[in-house]
Amino acid sequence: AQSVSQHNHHVILSEAASLELGCNYSYGGTVNLFWYVQYPGQHLQLLLKYFSGDPLVKGIKGFEAEFIKSKFSFNLRKPSVQWSDTAEYFCAVNRRRYTGTASKLTFGTGTRLQVTL
């Protein structure tokens, strides 16, 4: 079964600092990769996703992530965080089956980002 690891559980940054959140997955086959964000008291929203093609994907609100297949990683980055980025961030993966369809999503345990003014 696939698994997802997010090693940073709680990150505190000052506004304008750069952000990188780590995500590693364990599965040797073809995968789809996602980052979801959950703002306080709200539901999960898709930040960005990777299915195929350019391994550097850009999402909403200035976030980007890079898929490095050799490292089984899909780290999330943002050059300059804002106070409004305070939220919990979840990495998720599902397997791409030979038919092109995907299996159910497996989530990491999440990283809580706190941005201070």
Partner 1 sequence: NAGVTQTPKFRILKIGQSMTLQCAQDMNHNYMYWYRQDPGMGLKLIYYSVGAGITDKGEVPNGYNVSRSTTEDFPLRLELAAPSQTSVYFCASSFQGTSGNTIYFGEGSWLTVV
Question: Minimum Å distance from CB 82 to partner 1?
Answer: 23
110 binds partner 1 (CB under 8 A): yes
52 binds partner 1 (CB under 8 A): yes
The residue among 73 and 103 lying less far from partner 1, judged by its C-beta, is 103
Question: Minimum Å distance from CB 32 to partner 1?
Answer: 4
Q: Which amino acid belongs to residue 114?
A: Q
Cα–Cα distance list, 22 to 26, 74, 83, 99, 100 (Å): 14, 7, 20, 30, 27
107 binds partner 1 (CB under 8 A): yes
32 binds partner 1 (CB under 8 A): yes
CA distance 94 to 67: 14
Contacts of 52 (CB under 8 A, 6+ apart): none
72 binds partner 1 (CB under 8 A): no
The residue among 28 and 104 lying less far from partner 1, judged by its C-beta, is 104
CA distance 65 to 40: 22
Contacts of 29 (CB under 8 A, 6+ apart): 95, 96
44 binds partner 1 (CB under 8 A): yes
**Residues near partner 1, by CB under 8 A:** 9, 32, 34, 36, 42-46, 49, 51-52, 90, 94, 96, 99-102, 104-110
